[in-house]
Chains A and B, each alone.
Chain A
């Protein structure tokens, strides 16, 4: 379809949609006065019922834990699909040389960059783990902590160069983290079934309010998601970086790998 025809279709769609969207927007409850009862009920009941302070984590990992299991499966499927597509086209070998676009300068890495990246990568990883572990108490949780931890891998790449980075961040370890986290989540969901309770029933002791290990089964599920998200995004970054490598016979000068 040519560009003008697409715009005509878009205009036709907008003629139908704009009045209906305006109608719906005018009929919604006024901003700042929510009419839903589910959220306030959770806010009122759960701190006492589950001994946790972060209601978002409580909804994710306990009240609507089964939905999160579905989200986790979507995450694993999307990452698996991306990795299969990339590896299927490229093969599983690691390429030794950085790809290089002609006419672009290759700059050596300075010592200051290496030092700053080592420090910040360590701190970022620590912050990710901290955020994930305190998920049931303060803002944070497995999803955010996992992404922060995975982004520390990129700082490591910036500081250490490709070869050293590949020695530290193993593809197999990322595979194991991703699949293992999701598997442990499924096991944690199934354990209450064994003792005759519905799936994801919180059977563990709840612990103390505002304590690091409060929330019972939530702590386990939170940690499983942290492992899985770290593995997923680590694997995605690894495979995307692998895609920017050139075959070894390429004679372009490599970046200064340490």
Chain B
């Protein structure tokens, strides 16, 4: 079950500090990378809630990310609605879609669950691609950013927007950690571990899964609003199943079911992609090899493996005498 250990706190703290320092010391392009990484941290954390802690590997998180971005873009560009109203509406849009996906797919498992989420994602992608009201394949441009002038912050400034994105990513992580540490989060892990037993204990499993997907969807929607504001443009490409696949790669690279790991994975992928693409056009090949290596060597991801080593070193060996003692007490 989830525990906000010192290792997790230190790693997340270092990650945030690294992003802040990088944003402050680099130019426009570096800050763009930080904003992209922050949005993807939120998306990866949102996916880890359902995939890592709920055992529901979703291939529609790209679509939920896109729904958040599109709700924000349509409200601010087509209808000229204040971004501060569009923001909660986008989060709500992600939550509602997530709840629907969770509720409808809750009885499916394994590959069938993955395929069902893929179908949901592709439906949204194709609908958006073919809908002129949503800009079709051209997308929508002219998305406005949130206005923080009341507190003297200009979000059109790239550094300010990068720091704002990092703050949102940090808040999202804390929220996710709080939920996973609550009764709700504990139950979600119980469902992942043994859904049939949870049902026998009296839990209405589908409602719990749907609620978990709704929370995850809300965070994915928030990530979408950052992406929309960053480029001030949305397109159906962001809803493609490839986006879902890339986020899943980040989660697995960092460490599925560790919460911090996916955040590490998101930053690693964004910055490795940036570095590798400077050397070769075939950077996807290198990323693929890295992913294969991670999966083959331990299956825990970068952060997951480090956490495993550290906790194993600190944990005393299994107290076999306690087991024996308990058994002999029945004699």
Partners in one complex: no
A-binding residues in B (CB < 8 A): none
